[in-house]
Chain A
């Protein structure tokens, strides 16, 4: 093989690695998308950030494991169902503790209370499990789809499918139901909505239960795709979820999915190119680039700057 042939060969290898890294990252980004949807839904309705969302989602997933305590051979779907229900309950508790009883006029107080809730949930998990990673039932874990030299993880394709399904369900709920109408009314004009007879606190509570249910699924899907749950997951998922929410556009559900895939792919490419220790630097650079050049995110109208 001549010099040109060797160069062509190594270039092809690099391209293959690059495409595979993009695919691996985008698929794993589906987990970020699921968390991002929850962040963005709360922000879209209440214009508040729920920092405890990822921790609550992982908490729901842990609660799903309780099924295995009762039935050691319970099928994965039963664990996921329990995580789904527990997520809704945790979501409601987070609403009560961090939003319902805290004055609306203090947005910083609700933000700080959710930070406190994040740490509280984290520590509860640590105390309940002694910090040990716990195995999580997997679905399609051994399925690898092949396209020539490229491979795609079956379980992550499932996570992606679940993300899209969640988006479809949420969009249906928001745009095709009376609950959605009320939710959008509260989101746009809370005072006017209240004057029209909509119970704002009830809508907010329902929003939290809905995002909690979604969080339970997200946590279970993340547990299933990682293969284990650990309190180590909560903080990175919170950070990635927030980045995805900003890049996707605050309040945009499709934006959260697209941004999740984008961030996942982006970080994996930089991991391949620059190594694991520099990877997150570039993700932060991407975030700042969006904040400066497109502060409304991918799915928002152009806005001005200071």
Chain B
């Protein structure tokens, strides 16, 4: 009996010892994601979180990240909900700042990113600026030129300006007979507005198209009869729609009812997702969209599969979060991050400096260039809606 008691006690002691030993030895590096997990764009947050978790799992299975002292650390991912509301985004980044996270990945919405970057320190080492010194590496918020707001802001989002410029150029060569363009814009959504007024319109004209009109609607509109009549009257060759899936689907259904079919249909980057296919797969048939992700190679397919296992969908946004994790692994190792919780601010600075040094990064579709204003120049291709799926139509690069 005594022997049995001794054996049990020894087993407990061994378990406790090895358990605590393992805990003491296993260093962790926390990366916190944030984005919309509430409201109508909840899927964006879910997809980003799934991609981050999947990427972290791959990195950890490969042994984790190498720290400055030569030891290895596992990556721990946390994800917070900012509800796509600017005030909440600012509150979330302050909360992240109060943790041991060395970098934040997010947000989903451009209307959150813009004010959020505004509370970061504008210029590094500016003693008179008490802004947050927290590196933020954006995966989704896509409105052009936002990273220039702060030297702590970095983005791995595609340049819509470049992509649409290339798309209209390609359309010009592919369909030389097509000359006129009509625009439709979701007037109360920052990304849609920015895309139509600053990108699509400008790039279409630059590529020789004549803009014959534009029409507007709101994000939660459901009746598009008047707008489609305007489109029909203008009878343009190309219809460029800067709107998200719900209104894009509503508009396309109304176009079908009224028998309006332009020769070429161009959509917004964020519409080349599963959402659109769930809403109106038949009606969206033929729509062309430039995107920075499609599962066209082994790595991209693997990323999409692993993200799906975490209950997320792979698209141009979530796969940017995946890429960010691997870029950060590279920076953590090159900048010799300590992983010491008492050195978190110094580590954040190293991450910032490391990100700013990057001239190129490896993405799922190839090499991305980093610009001086901390934006990405990502590879892209054109996809089109084809039998309920987004399929690659053309690779311009």
C-alpha gap A106/B374 in the complex (Å): 57
Q: Which of A130, A134, A232, A233 contacts B46 (CB 8 A)?
A: A130
B43 adjacent to chain A (CB < 8 Å): yes
A93 at the interface (CB under 8 A from B): no
Contacts of A135 in B (CB 8 A): 249, 278-281
Chain B positions within 8 Å of A226 at CB level = 222, 250, 253
**B225's contact among A28, A133, A236, by CB below 8 Å, is which?**
A28
CB of B25 within 8 Å of the partner chain: no
B interface footprint on A126-143 (CB within 8 Å = 1, 0 otherwise): 110011111100100110
A275 surroundings in chain B (CB, below 8 A): 216
Q: Taking the complex as formed, is A109 at the interface, i.e. its CB lies under 8 A from any CB of chain B?
A: no
Complex CA distance for A194 and B225, rounded to whole angstroms: 50
| Docked-complex contact B42 and A133, CB < 8 angstroms | no
Q: A134-B279, A228-B279, A228-B280 are in contact. Are A17 and B229 (CB under 8 A)?
A: yes
Asked if A201 lies at the interface with its beta carbon under 8 angstroms from chain B, I say no
Chain A binding surface, main DSSP class: helix
**Chain A residues with Cβ under 8 A from B216's Cβ?**
275-277
Interface string of A261-275 (1 = CB under 8 A from B): 000000010011001
Give chain A interface residues in 4-28, CB to chain B under 8 Å: 17, 20-21, 24-25, 28
Per the bound structure, the CA–CA distance linking A127 and B36 in Å amounts to: 12
**Which residues 67-121 of B sit at the A interface, judged by CB distance below 8 A?**
none
- What separation, in Å, do the CA atoms of A141 and B253 have in the docked complex? 9
Total CB contacts across the A-B interface at under 8 A: 104
- Nearest chain B CB to A118's CB is how many angstroms away? 14
* Chain A residue with Cβ nearest B273: A132
Per-position contact with A for B216-239: 1 when CB-CB < 8 Å, else 0? 111111110110010000000000
Q: In the complex the two chains form, what is the Cα distance from A31 to B221 in whole Å?
A: 13
Kindly supply a per-residue 1/0 record for chain A positions 215-231, scoring 1 wherever the CB is within 8 Å of any chain B CB and 0 otherwise. Answer: 00000001001111011
Q: Report the separation of the CA atoms of residues A232 and B216 in the bound assembly, to the nearest whole angstrom.
A: 17
6 tightest CB-CB pairs across the interface, nearest first?
A133-B279, A24-B225, A227-B253, A130-B43, A232-B220, A131-B42
Interface residues of A (CB under 8 A from B): 17, 20-21, 24-25, 28, 31, 123, 126-127, 130-135, 138, 141-142, 144, 151, 153, 222, 225-228, 230-233, 235-236, 268, 271-272, 275-277
Interface residues of B (CB under 8 A from A): 38-43, 46, 187-188, 216-223, 225-226, 229, 245-246, 249-250, 253, 256-259, 274-275, 278-281, 283
